[in-house]
A = this chain, B = another copy of it.
Amino acid sequence: MERYDQRIAIDTLSSPESIAAALSGLHPADVADALGRAGVDGEILTRILAELDTELAAEVVINLDDHTLEDVLDVLEPPEIAQITSELESDDAADVVGLLDEDKKAHVLSQLDSDDRKAVEDLLQYTDESAGGIMASELVYVNSEASVDDAISLIRLAADEVEEIHNVYITDRARKLIGVLPLGTLLLARKGTRVAEIMEPDVVFVSAETDQEDVAKVFMKYDLVAIPVVDGEGILVGRITVDDIMDVIRDEADEDITLMAGTRDEEIHEDSTLKVSWIRLPWLVIGALGGLASASVMSLYSFSLEKVLALAFFIPVITAMGGNVGLQTSTIIVRGMNADGWLESDVRSRLLREWRIAITNAVVLGVAVFLIVGLWLTDWVLAAIVGGALGTVIVVAATLGTIMPFTLRRLGVDPAVAQGPFVTTLNDVIGILIYLGLATLFLDMLS
């Protein structure tokens, strides 16, 4: 009954014609979803799309997942791509054209009419992850001298071309943004009123260079459904709608999660084993090198380990704890930097908070492990060394986990890297150094 539960299964053995006929009454997002899940190849997909009405086909294309979209674009000829592109809003058109190789891109652009071509070329100049990179150039704006009736006429003219109109933007003669008029206000306004009288002059906007993550923050802070984008001179150049922002919020989160895991989000739809392997290997190599560094640290302490082999047993306790504490701490810090805007000036207060927590956990776990090891091996000096090292490692890992994200940001690196394998590995090596160093100090007391 619920619309979103409609999982249409495509009979992949049917002809493209009959599949297209079965799909033609559906919402483009449902069609795209069904085609993506059917797992048919680009060739057949293209033949199905060719059977659909051009406008529907275009809407389906931009709803395909990136992976399926690339398959389709590989097969389609430039004139066909141009035809689809001309049906789309400029931001979607630019996204499609941006996926093509240089040759095909030039060919497709040459087939577009001059307005569409200019719009797409303008948008392609902005970096992918900026406001300019996700905005559409289509929007409705009127001069502040205009009347409510003028604004409604403009909306009528634009209704075909602009997808979701939420606001009319008010500009001066130089197209500088000076106000905004929500559709609701327009609907209730008396005929003949000048827009300048009823517009909201205090308009929230972003510049085209703003990072998309910051744009998303503005949307969330002010509960927006659309935002106007201006250039360096305050001239209105486009608008971003909330549907693109939902994607940004989700994509940025996915990026953080996969970065934490030591891989990249793009691999999920990558079929080539070698390419995926190539994405994952760097992080595994870091882990392996860290492990070998740990091995060389241990070899330095061969003498101690030979004398008391049991020392070696507790290496995994120490390394697991350093990794887990470091991850907990760095995750909370990165989360606070992103959501609450913690700055480098907050390091001191964060460090004090993390130390309080770390010392509490260090005492609890240190004592617990001391008792367990002592009762197990009835060697209380060894137990004290393991418990003491464990406590120390917890405090050191919390310190690293707090400082690293701020340091990485200052170096221009994404702080989320601090949650990845790199810091865990560093904590491993430091933990073993602390533990075996401490053990060697008290070696004569060990039985």
* Contact A284–B205 (Cβ < 8 Å): no
A297 to chain B minimum Cβ distance, whole angstroms, is 9
* Contact B294–A305 (Cβ < 8 Å): no
Do A292 and B339 contact each other (CB < 8 Å), given the known contacts A249-B250, A280-B328, A331-B263? no
A247 within 8 A of B: yes
Cross-interface CB contact of A4 among B206, B353, B424, cutoff 8 Å: B206
A29 within 8 A of B: yes
* Contact A277–B331 (Cβ < 8 Å): no
A60 within 8 A of B: no
A265 within 8 A of B: yes
* Contact A258–B331 (Cβ < 8 Å): yes
Chain B contacts for A223, CB-based, 8 A = 29, 164, 241, 243
Contact mask for chain A residues 1-41; partner B; CB cutoff 8 A; 1 contact, 0 none: 01110000000000000000000000101000100010000
Chain B contacts for A210, CB-based, 8 A = 2
A369 within 8 A of B: yes
Chain B contacts for A302, CB-based, 8 A = 309
A183 within 8 A of B: yes
A316 within 8 A of B: yes
Q: Considering only CB atoms and an 8 Å cut-off, how many residues of chain A contact the other chain?
A: 124
Q: How many copies does the complex hold?
A: 2
| Complex CA–CA separation, A219 to B302 (angstroms) | 60
Secondary structure type dominating chain A contacts:
helix
Do A277 and B364 contact each other (CB < 8 Å), given the known contacts A246-B219, A295-B317, A335-B258? yes
User: Of residues 243 to 273 in A, which have CB atoms within 8 Å of B's CB atoms?
Assistant: 243, 245-247, 249-250, 253-254, 256-258, 260-263, 265, 267-268, 273
* Contact A242–B253 (Cβ < 8 Å): no
A384 within 8 A of B: no
* Contact A207–B253 (Cβ < 8 Å): no
* Contact B165–A184 (Cβ < 8 Å): yes
* Contact A188–B156 (Cβ < 8 Å): yes
Cross-interface CB contact of A369 among B164, B288, B309, cutoff 8 Å: B288
* Contact B283–A324 (Cβ < 8 Å): yes
| Complex CA–CA separation, A357 to B224 (angstroms) | 43
Contact mask for chain A residues 299-340; partner B; CB cutoff 8 A; 1 contact, 0 none: 100100110011011111111110111011011100110011
Contact mask for chain A residues 181-219; partner B; CB cutoff 8 A; 1 contact, 0 none: 001101110000000000000111111001000101111
* Contact A291–B309 (Cβ < 8 Å): no
A205, A283, A287: residue with the most chain B Cβ atoms closer than 10 Å: A287
* Contact B262–A291 (Cβ < 8 Å): no
A431 to chain B minimum Cβ distance, whole angstroms, is 9
A58 within 8 A of B: no
| Complex CA–CA separation, A361 to B263 (angstroms) | 13
A392 within 8 A of B: no
A143 within 8 A of B: no
**Can you give 24 A-B contacts (C-beta < 8 A)?**
A2-B206, A3-B204, A3-B222, A4-B214, A29-B221, A29-B223, A33-B221, A183-B187, A186-B187, A187-B187, A249-B249, A250-B339, A258-B331, A258-B332, A263-B332, A268-B340, A284-B324, A285-B368, A291-B314, A291-B316, A294-B316, A295-B316, A295-B317, A298-B316
- For the A-B complex with A159-B188, A274-B360, A287-B321 known, give 14 more contacts whose Cβ atoms are closer than 8 Å: A2-B207, A4-B218, A27-B204, A253-B253, A257-B257, A261-B332, A262-B327, A273-B360, A277-B361, A280-B328, A281-B361, A288-B317, A291-B320, A299-B310
Q: Give chain A's interface residues, CB within 8 Å of chain B.
A: 2-4, 27, 29, 33, 37, 65, 152, 155-156, 159, 164-166, 183-184, 186-188, 202-207, 210, 214, 216-225, 241-243, 245-247, 249-250, 253-254, 256-258, 260-263, 265, 267-268, 273-274, 276-277, 280-281, 283-285, 287-288, 290-292, 294-296, 298-299, 302, 305-306, 309-310, 312-321, 323-325, 327-328, 330-332, 335-336, 339-341, 353, 356-357, 360-361, 364-365, 368-369, 372-373, 390, 394, 419, 421, 424-425, 428, 432
